Structure 1
Amino acid sequence: MAGNFPLRSFGKTGTTAIAKQLFSNINLEISIFRSDSSLFAPFNLCLINAINRSFQMQIKQIVLSCALSAIFLFKCSGARVAMHSSAHVPLLTDKIETIKNNIEPPDTLLLDNAISLALKNNLELRAFLTEIKAREALTLQESLLPNPELDIELENFAGSGSLGGVKGNETTLAIGQLIELGGKRAKRTQVAALQSDLALWRYEIARLNIVTNVRREYAQVFLAQEKLDLDRKLLALSGAFKANIDTLVLAGRLSQAESARAQVELSQRRLTLQRSQRELNNAQRRLTAIWGTGNVDFSVVKGSLTFIKSMPSADRVMQSLENSPALIEQKSIIAVQKTKTALAKALAIPDPVIRAGYRHFNETDDKAFVAGLSIPLTIFNRNQGGKEEAKLRELQAEQFYASLKNDVQTEVSNRLETIRTIAAEIEMIQEIIIPEAQKAYNIINQNYRLGKYALIDLLDAQRQLFDAQGRFLDALGEIKLEIIELEGRLGRSLDSL
């Protein structure tokens, strides 16, 4: 329901004082109206002719006066200019930021090239960029002022008696403007700008996920490559061992059964090599699938399975969680919801519409200013439900943040413990198990030639040595993958902590 204050006529005297009183306490946001004579086309030509030249000139002067009077009120607008916060993930280095258009995978694929290919050809990232542009457009739209309304009103014409024809006609030309109180436009613009910032963060998180996926699959390819090299060396050792056994068999010092055992061991090594080659091919295809080609255009990758032996403390890692991309995204959602709560409160404030214009009395050729004001009466709808929903959405966003933070802390804590355990395992394998297995193999191999050990003992010592070397590679790969996942969650390298 609205309380309407009808347009009233005022004489020329006192018009300035009335206008000042009407506009003094209202923050008017109005655009200058540009009159167009085509607006009068639908009216009968006889009515237009009834408005004499002097009246038209005064109409133009009044419209211009109203517009100039509103210019100073335009500055009362306090809308937030849409600006993006600087969304930056440290792990996305400057080298990754620059993607060349002519990147092609060489025979030797480097990690930076793989990351650039993935970021360049990922279709999902294009959708995120489109979302950012859409949010920017929405921010612009929300920052615009409401359009003024032009009212043209003809009264008392084509009637009966003295009101017949256009003799008693009254013509009114007025401009109306909605006045948004409570900073509604500024708050709407701020909500849109924060949502644009949120879209930018989600774009950065999507890029971070792609980088993490590439690093993970790249490490898998390098690990499979290292395993294949190890299996080739072990196959060569098994082949040399089989050749020695065959020599002893031909010399009559060993039986054919021992040659058969050596052949079984050699055949198993060949099967292991074939399995490693298959795993390498699969890992290469998984890597190239990230940038959509599916074709393996490289032969080898370069990298390292070394890891940080002096890991940052758990406390320092936990402190850095506050700046992790996932938590920052949720904080941005909370900021959006808080602004929506403020907007919901502002929507409860009624917005008046003011009108100002000029009226011509055709019968007496008198002229007068007219003004009006309408204000909605908030009797039934005070946006009660909207305000309550906004508060609950804000509370919900904070609850999601608390839950997400707990999940991230648990995940990071588990990964830190896993890294610590694997690091201890690597140290034991490298410093104790492999040297002792090598020592045992050397002793048994030397004494086997003297007949002090059986072939089964030698094969068992050889198998233990090979298994220890394989387990060492597996452990290096596991800790490398754990570090990659941890850095992806933190959004930064562990070296920077």
Structure 2
Amino acid sequence: MSRWTYAALFSVAVLSLVNVRAAEPPVSLNEAVTRALNASATVKSREELIGGADAGVRQSGALPNPEVQVELENFAGSGPFRNLDDSELTLGVSQRIERSGKRDGRVAVAKAERDIAAIERDKARLDVALEARRSYFDVSAATVLLDAAKTRLAAASQIEAMAVRRVNAARDPITVKLRAEIQTAEARGAYDRATLTLQSAKSKLASLWGDAGASFSVDAKALFSTPKVSMEAQQDAAPDLKASEAAARRAASRFALENANARSDVSVGLGVRRFEFGGDLAGVVSVSVPIAIFDGNEGNIERAAAEQRAADLDLIQARRRLQRDVLTLQADATRARAEAITIRKELLPRAEAALRAARRGYDAGAFSYLELAESQRTLNELRTREVEVLRELHFALAALDRLSGRIAVASTDQGQQP
């Protein structure tokens, strides 16, 4: 296939790509996150668990049920007790009275479990939002890299045409033409790979919405925003820290409950007794208290105490881990932002100027093909590196928001797409 035929086909492909993008409905970052949250089965399941925990709170405050007692004495025996004439019938009601602290302890444990369920729901929402934001910037990066691959392929075709003219004019050896053809073939392969990468990234994002085959486009300019990195992360609102705090509260409540369970309850009964012989009636009052000789609940108390100590230690470790992760992400985001700004403001303008000079020099015979190819390669690498560090920046910012318990997309100062 001649270079002119390929150039024509490439132009048709580019126009088709532009038309396809124009027909795809645009999706903003906030919309992508919202769709993922609305479609998440994990978030919905956590909502159900909150409902179950609410029911647990209601159940924990329930009082013990009263008991109805029926007793028939002095019958089916011998002598005068052979029949029911001298029997005694007792009807009564008894109620177990819980000692102070048991009901309150159950309620405290249930409320702590309800808090944990709500925090787990919030963590699930944050995890979904984080994955959606990362997937969105994967699509943005893939879109930009596809455009860069298209530009690279067009530039390689132009350089190949220049090389062919010089070779045909006997100004360069045939090896220059072969090298230029190799560069064009490599650029064509990079373009094909970039196309597949974009398709894969879109499918991954759309799968979070429950529709992996959805047709859409993203605002690639969002990738070029370089928001400042906040050094004041809201660690007190971090859901992972809240989860550890709630677990510590639950452990403390369980310890208090087990101590309360060590105290025996009192059962009080009230009834009436009827004597068959004579038909007389009499009242009956009963009080019963278990004697804590064999079971003083010591084992459960010791276990709850150990679990409380472990939960307190886990909370300390959670604070340390959160602080470490925040500092690491802040450093990563700051580094990526600084590198992106340096590439955009300093390196890319110089690389573009060097390429323009190399093209003019090569066409005039002042520069060799290798110098021109090196200038083009440097520009291609810088554009790719810029996309990589911008992606790293937005990944780090999204992870910081996840740690701080934020779902809303941070405000950005828009950069300029090269």
- For normalisation by structure 1, the TM-score amounts to 0.73
Q: 1:163 and 1:442 mapped to 2: Cα distance?
A: 122
Q: Deviations over 1:347-368 (max 9, x none)?
A: 1111011111111222233222
- Pair 1:369 & 2:287 matched: no
Q: Please show how residues 137-176 of structure 1 align to structure 2 within 5 Å.
A: 137-176=55-94
CA distance, structure 1, for counterparts of residue 37 and residue 382 of structure 2: 38
Of 337-346 and 462-471, deviating more is 462-471
Maintained 8 Å contact 1:111/1:218: yes
- 1:297 maps to amino acid: A
For residues 266-316 of structure 1, give each alpha carbon's deviation from its aligned partner in whole angstroms, at most 9, with x where no partner exists. 1111111112112112212222333444x3221422250144443222xx2
Cα distance in 2 for residues equivalent to 1:423 and 1:301: 22
Q: Is the 1:107–1:297 Cα contact (8 Å) retained in structure 2?
A: no
Aligned to 2:123: 205
Does the alignment pair 1:290 with 2:204?
A: no
Instruction: Tell me if the contact between 2:96 and 2:266 (Cα under 8 Å) persists in the aligned partners.
Output: yes
1:461 and 2:375 correspond: yes
Aligned residue pairs total 386
Alignment of 1:61-140 (within 5 A): 107-140=25-58
Q: Please state how far the C-alpha of 1:433 moved relative to its aligned partner.
A: 1.4
Whether the 8 Å contact between 2:92 and 2:269 is mirrored in structure 1 is yes
- Counterpart CA distance in 1 for 2:399 and 2:228 is 18
Q: Equivalent residues in 2 for 1:367-446 (5 A)?
A: 367-446=281-360
Q: Structure 1 residues 138, 151: closer, same or farther in 2, change over 3 A? A: same
Name the counterpart of 2:269.
355
Q: Which residue of 2 aligns with 1:263?
A: 181
> Cα deviations across residues 320-343 of structure 1 (Å, max 9, x unaligned)?
112101010111111111111110
Find the structure with the greater CA-based Rg: 1
Following TM superposition, by how much is the alpha carbon of 1:158 offset from its aligned partner in structure 2, in angstroms? 4.1
Q: How do 1:204-223 residues align onto structure 2 when only pairs under 5 Å count?
A: 204-223=122-141
Q: 8 Å contact 1:227–1:276 — kept in the other structure?
A: yes
Identity over aligned pairs, percent: 27
Q: Deviations over 1:170-227 (max 9, x none)?
A: 2211111101012212211221122122112111211210111111111101100110
| Partner Cα separation in structure 1 for residue 48 and residue 67 of structure 2 | 34
Higher alpha-carbon deviation: 269-278 or 236-245: 236-245
How far residue 252 of structure 1 moved from its aligned partner, in angstroms, is 4.4
Q: CA RMSD in A?
A: 2.1
Which whole-Å CA distance do the structure 2 matches of 1:427 and 1:456 have between them? Answer: 29
- Bigger Cα displacement from structure 2, 244-253 vs 332-341: 244-253
Quickly say closer, same or farther: Cα 1:134–1:299, change in 2 above 3 A: closer
> Letter of the aligned partner of 2:365 in structure 1?
G
Give 5+ residue unaligned stretches, structure 1.
Answer: 1-105
Partner of 2:223: helix, strand, or coil? coil
Matches within 5 A, 1:186-201: 186-201=104-119
TM-score (norm 2): 0.86
Give the superposition deviation at 1:243: 2.2
Q: Deviations over 1:112-143 (max 9, x none)?
A: 44334433433333432332232223222222
3-state SS of the aligned residue for 2:272? strand
Q: Is the 8 A contact 1:311 1:494 kept in 2?
A: no
What is the SS of the residue equivalent to 1:452? coil
- Measured in 1, the distance between the counterparts of 2:76 and 2:347 equals 111
Residue in structure 1 matched with residue 165 of structure 2 by the alignment: 247
Aligned equivalent of 1:36 = none
> How do 1:473-488 and structure 2 match up within 5 A?
473-488=387-402
Q: Match of 2:289, SS?
A: strand
1:108–1:298 contact (8 Å) kept in structure 2? no
Deviation at 1:240, TM superposition (A): 2.1
Deviation per CA, 1:357-405: give whole Å up to 9, x if none: 1112222332221101011112232211111111110110111111222
Does the CA contact (< 8 Å) of 2:36 and 2:208 recur in 1?
Answer: yes
Structure 2: segments with no counterpart, 5+ residues: 1-23, 412-418
Confirm or deny that 1:177 pairs with 2:95: yes
Equivalent position of 1:34 in the other structure: none
From 250, 260, 263, give the equivalent of 1:346.
Answer: 260
Q: Residues 428, 119 of structure 1: CA spacing in aligned structure 2 closer, same or farther, 3 A cutoff?
A: closer
CA gap 1:228/1:369 in 2 versus in 1, 3 angstroms: same
Alpha carbons 1:187, 1:342 under 8 Å: kept: yes
Contact 2:27–2:218, Cα closer than 8 Å, also in 1: yes
The structure that is helix-richer by fraction is 2
Q: Deviations over 1:44-86 (max 9, x none)?
A: xxxxxxxxxxxxxxxxxxxxxxxxxxxxxxxxxxxxxxxxxxx
1:178–1:354 CA contact under 8 A, matched in 2: yes
Q: Deviations over 1:235-280 (max 9, x none)?
A: 1122222223333444444443322222222111111111211211
Aligned-partner Cα distance in 2 for 1:274–1:187: 65
Identify the residue that residue 300 of structure 1 maps to in structure 2.
217
CA 417–429 in structure 1, closer or farther in 2 if over 3 Å, else same: same
Structure 2: distance between partners of 1:433 and 1:161: 116
Q: Retained in 1: the 8 A contact 2:50–2:117?
A: yes
- Tell me how far apart the structure 1 counterparts of residues 257 and 382 of structure 2 sit (CA, whole Å): 65
Distance between the aligned counterparts of 2:188 and 2:149, measured in 1?
Answer: 8
